[in-house]
Structure formats: C-alpha cells, structure tokens
Structure 1
Amino acid sequence: MKPLHADICRYEMDFTAPVTVRGVLLARRQGLLLRLKSEGVTAYGEVAPLIGLHTESLDEALQALATFIPELSRLDWNASDGRQRLLDEAALPPSVTTGIEMALINLEATERSSLPSFTDEFPPASKIPVNALLAGDPQAVLNRAAKRYAEGFRAFKLKVRKGELDGAVACIRALHEAFGDKAELRLDANQSLEFDEAVAFGKALPPGCVAYIEEPLTDAALISDFHAATGLPSALDESLWQRPELLDEIGPDPLGALVLKPNCIGGIAKSLDLAAKAHRMGLQAVYSSAFESSVSLGLYALMAAVSSPAPAASGLDTASFLARDLTATPFATPDGFADPAAAWRDSLRVRPDMIETVKSWSL
C-alpha cells in the first residue's frame, strides 16, 4: 500500500554527559521523525543530522523534508523500486533521504507483518555483536572498558584526537595489557592527523594491538602510504560519502573495514550496496550510528544481521549515551550482543510524550 498521511515530529534528548563531535560539545541530541500512516498502520523514520558531522542543519533538513512529502502521493505502491526512483529524483540531503527511506521500509514491513527484506541479503543472524564506545579521560576509558568487558563486550572503539596522542598511546597500552587478544580494539581519528604524526603514532603502538584505525589522515588518499609505513589497517568512514572514488583507488589491502553511517551515506539501499561491496573485497562492514535514537538503531541492527554471514561488531552502542530514548523499549545490548529482530520490532513503538508534531499532510 501507499502512505495516506504524513507528520513531521521534533524531538530532543539529553546525553548522559556532554559528547564531543569534531570539536563541538553537545549536551543534547535533536532531530525529526517522519511518521507515515496507511490503513491502520503507522511507521517512523528518523531524520537526524548531527552538528559537526553533517553539512545540512536540522532546520535545512526540516525544510527539505517538508518540501518533499507531497511527492509521496506519486507512489502508486510502496515497494523498493518505486521509492528508490522517487528518492533518486529528489536529490535530498543524506539524513533526509535516510529518514524517508526508513519510514517507507518500516511501513511496508509493518503492513506485511514481517521483518523488512533487502536485496541480496544473507540469512539474518539471530544476534549481532556490538562494539562498546569508550570516551573520557584515560581512567574513565579503562573503567568503562572493564565494565563493558564484564558485560560481554569483546570489541571497543576509542577516539584518537590530535594534540592528545601521547595520552592515547598510554591508554591503548593499558587496554592492551588489560585485555590482550581477548578483545578487539578499534581506533577513530576522524581525519584529524597529518601524515607524519599519524605514522609516528602508529609506530608507537604495541604490535597487533589495534584491529584498524578509522580515517587516520586529513588526506585519505595517503592511506596506502600510511599502511606501508606502519602496517596498521585503516577503515573508511567519512571518505565513503566525501570522496567515494577513493575506495576503488585505495583497494582492499590497506583497509580493514568500511564504516557505514546510513544517514551520512544517503540511505538504506546505498549502505547495503556498500556492505555488499565490503564483503566482495574481504572487508568488514561495520554499521555505525551518528548518535541517533533507537528508531534508527533497530533497522541498522537488522541491516548488519543480513550484510554478512558473520556480522562484524557494529557501532551501535551510542544508545547508552542517551539519558532518555524515543522508544518504549530502547535498543539494548545486555551481553555485548543485540537481537536484531527484536530491536527492529521495538524501534516501531515510539513514545508519544517524547515527540511533538510540527507539520501534517494528507496524501
């Protein structure tokens, strides 16, 4: 069926503690939900550009979404081919495309009373591992890592910041001494390091202590040279949407993973295509959230579950940084794993007290 009614809703959620995104300190997460209704069925999609990461602001996303919604009346049937054509023609900001596509996928699946289905998917894993996000001063990092390890997490992600590399090396050495090869450690430099300082940093690390480092360089075109100098694999994240041609230019040898943020890449289908490419290249496909709510995390978990025969640990621990969430049952990883089918079903049940309707349409 096709959507018959649409609403745009706003939300605001506090973080448990301020979060730094590319030098911007954020106390709360703000975003939009697109609510679609057909006969007796309601579904949501999240439009959530993140300050410091996305080029579109929340107000720009709202304007783009409001301008597009009347186009939904052109859908004869809510199926993958039709909605993809509609979205491709619209040339929307990536966070907006993702939210619209999410809402339409969720609406289709809810109408069928089934899980969403995707093209060329693997049989869905019953559980997917999640990496624990580490943040704060070195002692806070070690304390959080110990707590998350005891809970069952076996993959950690640590941010590495320019100007704080000596402390990062000490922290990584401490994590390596504490966990050795019992847990996977991933780093993320957010394109912050010049080539020479990145190489010096890589050479200062204990051999084999790091699975990969996301976007180590200000110029990602030098990742092959970085790998040759340090032996340390990199992962592409921002480059996947900023300079998508680099993936083929760099090739798989210097890489360990592709980090997939759907609301930056520009949608669900595009992210699944990149996950399939990662599998063909022998790389991990690591789904990652830009501090979105459990509305998004449920679908991302399901995408991870069908993107590989052995899903990599996903970067969906961001829900633990939210003081309150939008869903009645927030995304959970009680033992370091998530149940993707349950997480998706929980993502459909949005708390009305957490959202405010700002615009409505009959389609």
Structure 2
Amino acid sequence: MQSPLPGAANPSSKTHNGPNRKGLLVRLTSGAGSESWGEVAPLPGRSRESLEEAGAAVAKILPSLVGLDLAPSFQGWTAPNVLKGLPSSCQFGFEQAIFSLAAADESVPLSKWFREDSRGQVPINALLAGSKEEVLAQARERRREGYEAFKLKIDTTPVDQGTKLIEEVRSAIGADAELRLDANRAWDFDTAVQFLSRVEDQNIAYVEEPLADPVLLKRLGQATTVPIALDESIVEILEQSCSLEEYAFARAAILKPTLIGGMAVTLDLAERFVNIGVEPVITSCFETEVGHAGLVSLAAAISGSGWASGLDTLRFFDPGLSPAPSRAAYHVSLCEAPEISRLARIV
C-alpha cells in the first residue's frame, strides 16, 4: 500500500520521510469464514527494518500460518515459534490480523478479546503540526471540537520561539486542557533545563524524550518540575533488558507497537508500567485506518488508563486515499494454502 500524506503537515521532521506512508496489508481468513486485516508499515527513520526487509519476512512467514490454532481470548494465547523473532512492524501486523481473526471467530470486538472489561471509548490527544499560524489555528479548532489533550512537537524550535509558542498554545486551549510536548531528543542537558524552566508555569503534562543523551533523563527530572515521558528509550529498554523500575521517575511511557515488537509485547509492557506508576500512552506511527483500528483496541484494553492516547494521526492522510481492505498486499487463509498477490499501490 502507499497512502499519501499532505506535504504541509510534516508531523515529525525526524520520523516522517517523504509525502507517502508505505507498507503492507495482511488479510487472513479462518475455517469459520471470518476475515481480518493487519498492517505492516515500518516507520522511516525509526524502524530497525526497511519496507523491503519487512516484505521479505511477510512472504517467508505466510505459508507457516496455515492451520494455526486461534485462542478464544488473549489470556489463552501462546505465540508459536514461527511468530517469534520477526521484525517489529511484522510482529504488529501479523498479531493484529491473527488476534482480530480470533476475536471475529468468537464474535467479540478485538478490545474485548484482549480484556473483557476493556473501555468503550478511547480519548485521544490532538496532534498539532505545521507553522506557528497553523498550530494555533489547529489548537483553537480542536478545542472547539472537544479535545481535552494536545501534543506539540518542539524539536526544531529555538528556545525563545518555542517557549513563546507554548504560551500561545496554552492561551488557545485554555488553562484546564492537557498540554504535552515532544522534543525528539533534540537538546543537550543545559538547553533542556533552560527551555523547561521557562515553561514550568504552563502546566505541562510531560515532555517526551528531551535529551540527546537519555542516560541523563532521571537527572533532568530532578532539575525541572516538568514531568518526563519515555519514547525512543522504550526500544532501548527492551533491547538491553533493563529493569523498568529504573524508569519509575517518568510520568508516562509512549508505546508504539509498530516499533516495540507488536501487540502482545505492548500489552505486557503497559501493565508493567502501570504497576510502577508510569502511565502507558498507546501511540500511532502514522498507520492507516487498518493499523489504527488495532491501536484503538489496544488502548481500550489497558487497565486503569484514562489518559488520552496518541492516535490523532488519520487526519494527516489525504481524504479518500487511505487504503481500503480490498487493496491488500497479501492474502492467506488459515485453512488453505496461502495466496500471495502483488503489493497494492494506493494512488
């Protein structure tokens, strides 16, 4: 699939590469006649694997899914060896398709398949992107629409301009709205202290990954009253098998299943963060509505999470051009031999 994004949006200069979001869609069917979809879409600049590498992994794994047993609930799921060690985006896409198929066979929503007491609604934060004028216009419009949480990227903004913009955004959304910042590891320690000290009176919910050197995050948290959130550090925590207790200083953990190893890992990690008092925030990597649907189900299934999720990304796709399930890249039936078709191109 290839789904265009508006060039003017440029939601993240470090993670969005070019005008199109490219990936693969996986379609599964069961012997009971159910159908499901999963999205495999490595994020340029953040994913370890390329789209070509993900595609090769998808093609290799498809034949092994024939005859796969489906669990009646997530609690009864045991991952088969064939699904272990996949590139992260592939893990997410295959798990989304398999779990959705299992839920369909049980005639329950995916969120309820994960957890019977999952929430019926998932609040999201408004993502503010573009020029100063565009950001302020978006902030006012989203507030009128009823958004209560907002996320502002500040990684490319000089200190003086950035602090002024934050003040203006706060004025636009009101004192009671939640305001989150994302610095994408843009600052050294002294710059971070300088910047954050100037916005301590703006009631910032948290700032994501402000430091180029993440080893200093805990120290920064002691030097400012602005809470810290983990994002890029999550992958490193998993790769290095770090103890989560070392990161209990954080206010929130930004969990992106496409990057951190899929749905099962995300659910486990979310519960572990909850247990140490860190709020998990399920967040999109600019998936299309196929992957987005799975992320919403994940967010609904996390226990005790009332915070807004980072899922306000579908707005950045050109209207009418997001891929429909009928434009699948691959199709495999769990009760028949797989059929691999061409990669769909959405134009």
Shorter-chain TM range is 0.7 to 0.9
Question: Are the equivalent residues in 1 in contact too, given 2:124–2:149 (CA < 8 A)?
Answer: yes
Normalising by structure 2, what TM-score? 0.86
Distance 1:135-1:66 versus aligned 2 partners, 3 A rule: same
- Give the Å deviation of 1:269: 0.8
Q: Encode CA deviations 1:283-321: one digit per residue, 9 max, x unaligned.
A: 221110000011122221122122133421011100010
Question: Are the equivalent residues in 2 in contact too, given 1:83–1:101 (CA < 8 A)?
Answer: no
Cα distance in structure 2, aligned partners of 1:269 and 1:189? 28
- Give the Å deviation of 1:117: 5.6
Say if 2:54 is the partner of 1:54: no
Match of 1:22 in 2: 14
Greater shift, 163-172 or 190-199, is seen at 163-172
Unaligned runs of at least 5 residues, structure 1? 1-10, 329-349
Cα distance in structure 2, aligned partners of 1:49 and 1:203? 36
Unaligned runs of at least 5 residues, structure 2? 339-347
Say if 2:110 is the partner of 1:125: no
Match of 2:176 in 1: 182
**1:255 is matched by which residue type in structure 2?**
A
SS of structure 2 residue aligned to 1:128? coil
Cα distance in structure 2, aligned partners of 1:294 and 1:83? 27
SS of structure 2 residue aligned to 1:242? helix
Greater shift, 63-72 or 11-20, is seen at 11-20
**1:170 is matched by which residue type in structure 2?**
K
Say if 2:307 is the partner of 1:317: no
- Give the Å deviation of 1:259: 0.8
Match of 1:44 in 2: 37
Say if 2:187 is the partner of 1:193: yes
Q: Report 1:120-269 matches (<5 A).
A: 121=115, 123-162=117-156, 164-244=158-238, 245=241, 248=244, 250-252=246-248, 254-269=249-264
- Give the Å deviation of 1:86: 2.8
Cα distance in structure 1, aligned partners of 2:157 and 2:127? 21
Tell me how large the CA RMSD over aligned residues is.
2.4
Question: Are the equivalent residues in 1 in contact too, given 2:200–2:225 (CA < 8 A)?
Answer: no
Which structure has more strand as a fraction of its residues? Answer: 1
- Give the Å deviation of 1:83: 5.2
**1:14 is matched by which residue type in structure 2?**
P
Match of 1:73 in 2: 66
Match of 2:295 in 1: 300
- Give the Å deviation of 1:74: 6.0
Say if 2:68 is the partner of 1:104: no
Question: Are the equivalent residues in 1 in contact too, given 2:29–2:332 (CA < 8 A)?
Answer: no
How many pairs are equivalent? 327
Structure with bigger RCO (C-alpha 8 Å, 6+ apart): 2
